[in-house]
Amino acid sequence: MAVSGEGIHLTDEFNEALSALRGGENVLITGNAGTGKSTLLRLYLDERGTDDVIVTAPTGVAALNVGGFTIHRAFGFRPGYLPDDLKPGGKWRPSASVNKVLSAINVLVVDEISMVRADLFDMMDIALRSIRRSEEPFGGVQLILVGDLLQLAPVVTDGERELFSTVWESPYYFSAKASERLRLTEINLTTVWRQSDETFIEILNEVREGSVGEGAREILNSYVDPDFVPPQDWVTLASRNRRVDAINKQRLEALPAEKFVSVAVYTGDADAKSFNGSEELTYARGARVMTLINDYAGRFVNGSFGEIVEASADEIVVSLDNGEQVALGKHTWEIGRPQVADGKVSSAMVGTVTQFPVNLAWAITIHKSQGQTIPKLFIDLSGGTSQDGQFYVAVSRAVSLENLRLSAPIEARHIRASNQLVRRLRRSSSATVETKRFLAMSVDGVDFSVSQHVALVHAVVVDGGEIVANFGSWINPAADLGDFGVAHSIPAGGLALAPALGDFWPLLLRQAEGAVVIGHNLAMLERAVRHQEKGMALNLGVGYDTAELNFSPDGSTPAQQATSIAEALLSNRLSISRGQVVPPADREREGAVFLPTWAPRTNMMLDARKATESDIAWAALFGGSLVPTDRNEVQECIELMGAWGTSRGMWTTEMRDELLERAKVVLPGGYDAPPVVVKSDQSYALLYEGARVAFTGRKNLLGAPADDERLAEICASRGLVYKKSVSKTRTDVLVAGDPASMSRKAQNAREFGTPIITQEEFERWYADSDRAAGPAPAAGDSAVVPETVIEAESPAPADDAVRKSVSADLIRDAADVLNPGTRVAFRGSTYVFGQLIPQGEELQKFCSEIGLEFKQAITKTRSDVLVTDDPEAEDGKGLLARRYGKPMVTSKNFTAWAEAQVEARTSQHVSPDPEPQPQAAQVVEEASQLPSEERVPEPAVTEDQTRRDYDFHAEPYAVTGTAAPEGTPLLAGTVPNNGAPAKQQQRRSKAAQWALRFVAIVGILTVLFVLAAISNAPVALLAIVMLLWMAVALAAAITGIVAAAKAVSSRGKDAPPHRQR
């Protein structure tokens, strides 16, 4: 490998890139973090010279890091400009200096290209073509774009999102109109220089692409230590400025030294945005700092870390981590704008900023860390991650796993990557695809801006030049339907029997197996997985979104759009040469489909070669041409839809009879179905004076839109109390536009046993109650009326005691019925170690960790046990369990059994080494701390107590103990304090061994002293024996005191220290 004059190793990739750059090609230099992108650029510019070069970046911090200018300053753009503002008659009025510079340059460098928006990229193209009077892309200037596209993404506000789904296909630079005409040579650097550990490099590759496997996640989570206090030479990264400021302030205030304050001084056209320092810097001896400039003497660079060892108002002395000690006075940054002088592009000073060239650096933001190398790194995840690539930027700053710590276990929501970019990068490195099978698909659904939920999917499979499958399904979006429901005329309860996205997906993957996917609106699907089916892997191989092919399918529905894509493939209007096919699918995992009678009829044709008997049964119930042969499969479909409807509060006689009739047509025979849910108007009993009422899914209320203020007024006018959310103890009634809604409020209401009434019932009660609401129930009376009554198929027992007897006969001890693989459904709230485990993903994950399989509903053949807080409950799950004779375990009994399981599993991993083992406790931030992209539109809980219930590892319920040396601990990182007895026993055993040793030594010395005295030994010998005796006694005393202190200390600690690997 050749070495440059600067000692840089010239890999084949570097030589290839330099050749393209020297040839004047437009080049994109990309690659993983730490692959030397900036080094390559510096090497080329040093070789070429910079007289006709301008270096730019999208942000001030990035521009300062490369010694360049922001794009806006270089081009004279103002905030808010759009491409039309640069056209004749627009707002853009470039100064003479800007005109001169852009006319003189021959090379334009854009660093951190991942953050450059499509509109800004188009503006740069228009400006250069206009000023240089050239129709060539970017006026004929050579473009050098630098950056990892999978690091920080362009910033787009909620108000701008529509702009980047209409005018531009995405916010990224490659979606700009200018990119269509730009010939760009892509150089992908792959040799990682920052890290040398192959395991760590592979983990980073997975994080970069947003698809971290269980092995990589377990390794990362083995470095979780929520109680870790970073030593002085460690740096904490956090996603939020507020969190970073709080950490730095806390650490600074803890220093006993005198505090000093330095305020930045500005002159000319300069302000706080002109430099990357602190407008007001508070510092003291002992403060951890990061330098913001390069030292001309070469002692440090921008981004070096150190500690202030001397401080005064005018000077600080910093001991750098590299061993150097430097005295720093206040530095003056010259704020410039580009100009041309003597034919050379240079910087003209327009202002200055004077301040110490350091920032406090116990903590810095992930955004500001981009480009930095941090030898000892602690990542604080308490603020979550709010952007694609943000966690990747953070973890890739580390040099090694040994010097990396995390505040909480890694979850799928932390590891975000743009699927569009991942597809683009994977396709560029993939071989020519060898397949004649393609899946054309389109999705539609609910869009709340901050979250999206798929409600309709359609797919068409083309194989060997013909259509072999054409099918789709409505999906329960686990959210209110909003405008989507209005647009599609979805009736109340219209999706009560629809599968969740995760229930439909296995069937789709089997049909897609071996195909390259071409999808319309894939971005919605990819975003929906974060909210609707958290943690679900799409497993769609590497395909294309129609936008990436510049193809707009015909039609307005997913079925029409998928058909249009398929027709384009058949007519060769779409030609696919690269990509990766959908991998082999799981044939054991069952799928589901649903096409309601209220919706327009669409095709239901499956490829028989890929379908299972279950797939065929589902499709046949909704018009499929394939005929099932197994009545049990058809029966299971009926039972599962009945269970879904029952659990969602909408399972009517009409629904039941229709499904039974369809089944008899598909495959004649006798079929059974769960009893129907009979709804009665409970509003008059539930809406008493002072009742606390929440609302969900309302379109209009009482004939007009209703925001929080109007809802509060409506409730107050009838003596009710309006609540913004549903909590276990502070909400009495939920009013739902759709009683089968699966919004977060509705899910919480069902879990907490909060009655749900319809909006129509509320409005009818409101009209009849022009007076105040009735009095509240008397103390001791139940204010909660059962939400539903289940209509049994056979006459109900006349005596309530009979029903109780049936329930009692089914109650079992958890230890007798819960075995590895047992399929368990839950009714009511589930607590383990005093912490609520919410129904859904959290409970599913916990069940998996203790060897159970979580089931959403009770069915005859797909569930084994019901865990219930009320065995005599008359709601759906309880009655279905009694009907099918399913064993029931009380919630209290399950809690005790589950805690014992966790303790037993953890104790198996207690190391025989008496030294403390690592603790990996999970800290899940409260919903209010989540970034807006992660929030569901209707927060589940806002009251303090209930929010603590949902914060699965919140402070009041923290439990600690000894974690397993391998793998992720139970409870997603939190384990009970079961390790303590084992460790105490180890300490007692060790103490006993030392005590025996001391007793033996003291006994021997005593015997020697007596023998010496009897034999008239010299006084000197007697004195020596006496001194030895006293020394041993003193050592025993000291050891006892230390042991006692350790015991007290260990009882007071929340967690043992993290194991060093």
pLDDT tens digits along 541-593: 889 999 888 899 999 999 999 999 999 999 999 988 888 899 999 998 889 99
CA triple 284-290-291, angle to 5 deg: 105
Question: Which band of pLDDT confidence, cut at 50, 70 and 90, is reported for residue 1037?
Answer: low
Q: Which helix (H) or strand (E) holds 153?
A: none
Which residues does 84 contact at the CB level (< 8 Å), separation at least 6? 90
Q: To the nearest whole number, what is the mean pLDDT of the chain?
A: 80
Lowest mean pLDDT among 309-318, 375-384, 437-446, 611-620: 375-384
pLDDT digits (tens, 9 = 90+) for 409-435: 887 667 776 677 777 766 665 667 789
Task: Identify which has the larger pLDDT, 798 or 260.
Answer: 260
User: Cα 632 from chain centroid?
Assistant: 39
User: Which position has the higher pLDDT, 637 or 998?
Assistant: 637
DSSP states of 823-839: EEEEES--EETTEE--T
Query: What single DSSP character describes residue 1058?
Result: P
pLDDT for 948-989, tens place per residue?
333 333 232 233 333 333 333 333 333 333 333 444 444 455
Residue 346 clears pLDDT 70, i.e. is over it: no
> How confident is the model over 157-190, as pLDDT tens digits?
666 777 776 788 788 888 899 988 888 888 888 7
DSSP 159: G
pLDDT at 773 over 70: no
pLDDT at 1005: 67
Q: What are φ and ψ of residue 269, in 5° steps?
A: -90, 65
- Location of structure tokens 């389109």: 442
Tokens 């109780």, residue?
804
Of residues 418 and 476, more confidently modeled: 476
Q: Are strands 358-360 and 288-291 parallel, antiparallel or unpaired?
A: antiparallel
Contact, 290 vs 361, CB < 8 A? yes
The pLDDT of residue 932: 35
Provide the phi-psi class of 721: left if phi over 0, else alpha when psi is between -120 and 50, else beta.
beta
Which region, left, alpha or beta, applies to residue 774 given φ > 0 means left and ψ of -120 to 50 means alpha? beta
pLDDT at 65: 67
Q: What is the C-alpha separation between 78 and 747, in angstroms, rounded?
A: 47
> Both tokens of residue 776?
């509240």
Closest CA to 643 of 595, 678, 676: 676
Answer whether residue 944 shows pLDDT above 50: no
993 vs 321, higher pLDDT: 321
Q: Tell the residue number behind the tokens 């000894």, with chain if given.
A: 962
pLDDT for res 859: 79
pLDDT band at 1014 (very low <50, low <70, confident <90, very high): low
Q: Give first-to-last CA distance, the chain, whole Å.
A: 33
Cβ distance 866 to 643 under 8 Å? no
Residues 808-821 as b or e (16 or more Cβ within 10 Å = b): eebebebeebbeee
Q: Give the integer Cα–Cα distance in Å for 840 and 903.
A: 23
Does position 990 have pLDDT exceeding 80, yes or no?
A: no
Q: What is the pLDDT of residue 797?
A: 44
For the residues 91-107, what does the mean pLDDT come to? 91
Most confident by average pLDDT, 146-150, 190-194, 389-393, 894-898: 894-898
User: What is the pLDDT at residue 1058?
Assistant: 40
Token look-up 């230590």 returns 225
What's the CA gap between 624 and 440, in Å, rounded? 19
For residue 768, the tally of other CB atoms under 10 A from its CB is 10
- The rounded distance, in Å, linking the Cα atoms of 835 and 921 is 14
Question: What is the predicted pLDDT for the residue at 696?
Answer: 93
Query: What confidence score (pLDDT) does residue 807 get?
Result: 65
CA distances for 477 relative to 460, 497, 740, angstroms: 22, 12, 12
- 57, 63 contact by CB (below 8 A): yes
- Examine the pLDDT at 998 and tell me if it is beyond 60: yes
Q: State the DSSP H helix or E strand holding residue 629, giving kind and residue range, or none if neither.
A: none
CB of 147 closer than 8 Å to CB of 108: no
Are the C-beta atoms of residues 33 and 392 closer than 8 Å to each other?
A: yes
Determine the pLDDT at residue 956. 29
Strands 185-189 and 27-31, how do they pair? parallel
Contact partners, residue 830, CB within 8 Å, separation at least 6: 836, 837, 839, 843, 867, 891, 894, 895
Maximum alpha-carbon separation in the chain? 119
Tell me the backbone φ, ψ of residue 354, rounded to 5 degrees. -115, 125
Handedness of CA 278, 284, 287, 291 (dihedral sign): positive
Q: What count of other Cβ atoms lies within 10 Å of the Cβ of residue 787?
A: 24
Residue 999: which residues within 8 A CB-CB, separation 6 or more?
none
Beta pairing, strands 756-758 & 325-328 = unpaired
Q: Give the model's confidence band at 611: pLDDT under 50 very low, under 70 low, under 90 confident, else very high.
A: very high
User: How are beta strands 142-146 and 107-110 bridged, if at all?
Assistant: parallel
Q: Is residue 1007's pLDDT more than 90?
A: no
Helix and strand numbers, DSSP H then E, in the chain: 33, 39
Of 208-217, 286-295, 476-485, the least confident: 208-217
Predicted pLDDT of residue 535: 63
Q: CB of 366 within 8 A of CB of 393?
A: yes
- The segment with the largest mean pLDDT, out of 5-14, 627-636, 642-651, is 627-636
Q: What is the DSSP string of 678-708?
A: EP---HHHH-BTT-EEEEES-S-BTTB---H
Q: Counting beta carbons within 10 angstroms of the beta carbon of residue 849, is it exposed (0 to 12), middle (13 to 18) or buried (19 or more)?
A: middle
> What per-residue confidence (pLDDT) applies to 414?
77
What are 871-908's pLDDT values in tens digits? 887 666 887 888 788 999 999 999 999 999 988 876 65
pLDDT at position 808: 78
Specify which of 121-130, 367-376, 1020-1029 reaches the highest per-range mean pLDDT: 121-130
pLDDT of amino acid 1002: 67
Dihedral class, residue 389 (left if φ above 0, else alpha if ψ from -120 to 50, else beta): left
In the predicted model, what is the mean pLDDT of residues 686-710? 90
Confidence (pLDDT) at 891:
94
- Give strand ranges (E) for 828-909: 831-832, 835-836, 853-854, 865-868, 888-890
Residues of the chain with pLDDT > 90, as a percent, come to 40
Q: Six-digit token pair at 144?
A: 């050098």
Lowest mean pLDDT among 510-514, 628-632, 866-870, 995-999: 995-999
Q: What is the pLDDT of residue 587?
A: 92
Which helix H or strand E contains 42, and what residues bound it?
helix 37-48
The pLDDT value recorded for residue 1045 is: 56
Helix, strand and coil content of the chain, in percent to the nearest 5, comes to 35, 20, 45
pLDDT of residue 1012: 67
Residue 568 CA to residue 446 CA, distance in Å, equals: 28
What is the model's pLDDT at position 428? 64
Q: What is the pLDDT of residue 700?
A: 84
For 720, residues 6+ apart whose C-beta sits below 8 A from its C-beta are 687, 689, 690, 691, 692, 693, 773
The answer to whether residues 366 and 388 touch, using CB atoms and an 8 Å cutoff, is: no
Split at pLDDT 50, 70, 90, the class of 761 is very high
Cα separation, 654 vs 234, whole angstroms: 65
Reply yes or no on whether the pLDDT at 673 is more than 80.
Answer: yes
Crossing angle for the helix pair 118-132 and 96-104, to the nearest 10 degrees: 90
Q: Determine the 3-state secondary structure of 404 from DSSP.
A: strand
d(CA 707, CA 681): 25
Residue 977's pLDDT is: 38
Report the alpha-carbon distance of residue 196 to residue 183 in Å, rounded: 35
More confident residue, 235 or 527: 235
Token pair listed for 698: 């309302």
Q: What is the mean pLDDT of residues 990-1015?
A: 65
| Of 174-178, 368-372, 911-915, 985-989, minimum mean pLDDT range | 911-915
Q: DSSP letter at 779?
A: T
CA distances 282 to 261, 285, 289, 353, 924, Å, are 4, 11, 11, 17, 32
For the chain, percent of residues with pLDDT exceeding 70: 77
Question: What is the rounded CA–CA span in Å between residue 637 and residue 614?
Answer: 8
